[in-house]
Amino acid sequence: MIDTNMLNQLKEVFTRLEGKVELSYDQSEHSKQKELVDMLNTLSETSANISVSQSGEISRSPRFSLKTNGKHNGIVFSGIPGGHEFSSLILAILNSDKKGKLPDESLIGRIQRLKGPIRLKTFISLSCENCPEVVQALNLMSIFHSDFEHEMIDGAFFSDEVESLGIQSVPSVVESNGQLISAGKTGLGELLSKLEEKFGSEQAESQELGQYDVVVIGGGPAGASAAIYSARKGLRTAIIAEKIGGQVQDTKGIENLISVTYTEGPQLSAQLAQHIAEYEINVLEHRRVKNIVNDKLKLVELDSGETLKAKSIIVTTGAKWRELGVPGEREYVGRGVAYCPHCDGPMYKGKKVAVVGGGNSGVEAAIDLAGIVNEVTLLEFSSELKADKVLVEKARSLANINIITDARSTMIAGNDERVVGLEYEDLTSKELKTLDLDGVFVQIGLAPNSSFIRELVKTNKIGEIETDEKCKTSVEGIYAAGDVTTTPFKQIIIAMGEGAKAALAAFEDLTMR
């Protein structure tokens, strides 16, 4: 599992360890137990500060926990954290010793103010690209909270529990009683907000972060560009984001970023963060803007309780997956309703699913799922699929893809535990029809993330912020760029250009005031 090259890299990484980290495993008769023990022993050989021990407990599957300087830190792995989760184990070791990338003081304070006890389990798949972010965020909370335990569970080892809980999406975070807390891709900031709402939090005084020339809201390509251009103009700049990279994080292959023949979303996001770090930009990650008070100096209020004052604001919050907005959709998210075929597709092996949306993303999802599930029904509202011709031809060539056009989804049906069907209206006959199935993948495009500012600036009917040729909104001193705006053609390279334009426009206006 760990080759020589990786071992050498880990030896270098773990030279930073100062405290003692103990990997304590349970005894088990499971056939994969030796594989786990071998992996843990191999890891212990990379640093004198890492040791392996037996916990004295007995488990039905491979399971181990982490101790820091002899004390349990609340982190447990059930299964063997290989694949994408290997990084979660490495970071858990580093973070346990307060090494590696850690939350800033404000976030640590929010974590510590959560009302305990908190006991959470995250069900994952080793092939899931979105799972590590959730696992790593909750592991960090375990480290910084004195009464917080988090267990990563590989669903492949616990199929009966997955079935009994009705889990059909990964990652799925549940309480010890099985109640669902979160499903799907979620960052540290959003998870923290959900836990504050669920468990409560000790009251904290609001914290003023000072005054800035420019505050950029959003950390995708447009936001990164706006922040960098602002800083290069000598403006005091802050950027507020749930995560640097934004929606780009979820993008697989990127082949149209001119001069870069090929890259992927996570790599580009890391490069954006690295570029931002080259300048004096205050990065406020894992935060959301709660409210903006419009005045000569605009007041930006964050969900963390922090506030900033800004002469200019540039909104670059991008877009998120659009929901169908039908009964049953939100009720069954994570239990049959999904938005990421790459992550959740394997959970439906041998089952029947529907994909709603006949654009490129919908048809691509149907093609991908056809190789995993027993049957895919692709539904499109229009009279024909809107995807590229090559994708449509590929979909039509696959025997287990059924295509239905002129179909308006009206309801997702469930049995209180999971999805069992999809109701749709045949727009030709006006007849309501029902499909018996196990899952619904929604792929109907993106919706702008503008709800926090929609009452302040002018937007169109779908919530996109209206801007002029210089990215100015209807409110003086507030600019917008990227996918959150009415700018046509939602492309990375266009968003970068618009972000730069917004920054230059803000600089121009500031110098003229």
3 vs 43, 79, 178, CA distance in Å? Answer: 11, 20, 37
Percent of the residues in the chain that have a pLDDT greater than 70, as a whole number: 100
- 16 confidence band (pLDDT: 50, 70, 90): very high
Kindly state the helix (H) or strand (E) to which residue 24 belongs, with its residue range: strand 21-27
pLDDT (mean) for 492-506: 98
Asked which of 3-7, 32-36, 351-355, 436-440 is least confident by mean pLDDT, the reply is 3-7
Q: Superfamily assignment of 210-320+456-512 in CATH?
A: FAD/NAD(P)-binding domain (3.50.50.60)
Largest CA distance in the chain: 74
Where along the chain do the CATH 3.40.30.80 domains lie?
4-199
Say if residue 1's pLDDT is above 70.
Answer: no
Cα dist from 10 to 44, 52, 173, 222, 464, whole Å: 10, 16, 29, 35, 46
Q: Which amino acid is located at 274 in the chain? A: Q
Task: Report the distance separating Cα 106 and Cα 303, nearest Å.
Answer: 11
| For residues 78-87, average pLDDT | 94
pLDDT given at position 2: 83
pLDDT band for position 203 (50/70/90)?
A: confident
pLDDT at 50 over 90: yes
CB atoms near residue 396 (< 10 Å): 12
Average pLDDT, stretch 107-112? 96
Neighbours of 483 (CB within 10 A): 28
**CB 438, CB 353: distance < 8 Å:** yes
Question: What does the block give as tokens for 1?
Answer: 């599992």
Characterize the bridge pairing of strands 263-264 and 352-356: unpaired
Tokens of 357: 């949306």
Q: Give the whole-number percent of the chain exceeding pLDDT 90.
A: 84
pLDDT tens digits, 289-327: 999 999 999 999 999 999 999 999 999 999 988 899 999
Average predicted confidence (pLDDT) for the chain: 94
pLDDT in tens, 157-200: 998 999 888 888 889 999 989 999 998 888 999 999 999 999 99
**What pLDDT shows up at residue 166?**
83
- CB 173: neighbour CB atoms within 10 A? 25
Cβ neighbours around 397 below 10 Å, total: 10
**Residue 491: is its pLDDT beyond 70?**
yes
* Cβ-contact 281, 227 below 8 angstroms: yes
Note the pLDDT tens digit of each residue in 142-162: 999 999 999 999 999 998 999
Q: pLDDT class for 130, splitting at 50, 70, 90?
A: confident
Q: Tell me how far apart the alpha carbons of residues 494 and 160 are, in angstroms, rounded to a whole number.
A: 47
Going through 323-384 in order, the beta strands assigned E by DSSP cover 337-338, 352-356, 375-379
CB contact at 8 A, 371 and 348? no
Query: How does pLDDT run across 374-403, given as a tens digit for each residue?
Result: 999 999 999 999 999 999 999 999 999 999
Residue 247 has pLDDT above 90, yes or no: no
Average pLDDT over residues 214-218: 99
Q: What is the pLDDT of residue 426?
A: 97
Most trustworthy range by pLDDT among 80-84, 321-325, 425-429: 425-429
As a dihedral over the C-alpha atoms of residue 37, residue 38, residue 41, residue 46, rounded to 10 degrees, the angle is: -140
* Residue 47 three-state SS: coil
Question: Where residue 341 falls among pLDDT bands split at 50, 70, 90?
Answer: confident
Say which CATH architecture domain 4-199 belongs to. Answer: 3-Layer(aba) Sandwich (3.40)
The stretch 253-260 carries a mean pLDDT of 89
Please give the pLDDT value at position 424: 97
d(CA 70, CA 456) in angstroms, rounded, equals: 53
What confidence score (pLDDT) does residue 205 get?
78
CATH 3.50.50.60 residue ranges of the chain are 210-320+456-512, 330-442
- Into which CATH architecture does domain 330-442 fall? 3-Layer(bba) Sandwich (3.50)
Which CA distances in Å does 340 have to 98, 344, 354, 376, 443?
A: 33, 6, 13, 15, 9
Among residues 399, 346, 329, 388, the alpha carbon closest in space to that of 363 is found at: 388
- Residue pair 109/204 in contact (Cβ under 8 Å)? The answer is yes
Q: What is the pLDDT of residues 445-470, one digit of tens each?
A: 889 999 999 999 999 999 999 999 99
Least confident window among 218-227, 356-365, 494-503:
356-365
412 pLDDT tier (thresholds 50, 70, 90): very high
Residue 51 has pLDDT above 80, yes or no: yes
Least confident of 25-34, 241-250, 455-464: 241-250
Q: Is the N-terminal amide bond of 346 cis, ω within 30° of 0?
A: no
- Mean pLDDT, to the nearest integer, of 317-341? 89
pLDDT of residue 334: 80
Residue 254 and residue 264 in contact, taking contact as beta carbons nearer than 8 Å = yes
Is 300:308 a contact under the CB 8 Å cutoff? yes
Q: Name the more confident of 1 and 287.
A: 287
